Amino acid sequence: MNVEQILVDVISETVETMAFMEVLKKDTITPYDEHLERLRVEILVNAPFPGEIRLVLPKSLAVLFSQNMYSLDEQDVTIETVEDVLGEIVNIIAGRLMADILPEDQTFHLGLPLIGPDAFLETEASSHAIEFYAEETPFWVVLFGEGFQSSP
């Protein structure tokens, strides 16, 4: 199973369908910019293995997702709208990813999305980050947990 390719497909289809934006995978990771205002939305995988799926994106891109999904002008987008949109996007991404990487007869259990500002944290946890672009703006998806490691 190639988890990365499954994730790329899930991210592209979800963002293109929900926010009407083309998504491209980038082969390198942009250096961390401490001055960029980012949001982080994460959802825990509670079963069949412990893990986490985290979406990190510039606040400006989160606002654009909200504008496109709800046909709003920028000034009409509230933080509540952004949080709703990000929670829905990460929930769909997590559900589709888990359904695609597990056998058909295996169930999974997800936590609730948690949303907040992003901060750069060093971690020893097993993780895999992939950078994407939408509207020429980078965003990242990070998978935490041994269960997300690709197998041949």
Q: What is the pLDDT of residues 82-131, one digit of tens each?
A: 999 999 999 999 999 999 999 999 999 999 999 988 865 555 667 888 99
Q: Give the single-character DSSP code of 30.
A: P
pTM: predicted TM-score of the whole model, two decimal places: 0.91
User: How confident is the model at residue 119, as a pLDDT?
Assistant: 66
Q: How far apart are CA 112 and CA 74, in angstroms?
A: 27
pLDDT tens digit string along 64-78? 999 999 999 999 999
Does 152 have pLDDT greater than 60? no
14-46 b/e with 16+ CB inside 10 Å = b?
A: bbeebbebebebeeeeeeeeeeeebbbbbbbbe
Over residues 9-44, the pLDDT tens digits come to 999 999 999 999 999 999 887 877 777 899 999 999
Could you give the CA distance from residue 108 to residue 128 in angstroms, rounded to a whole number? 20
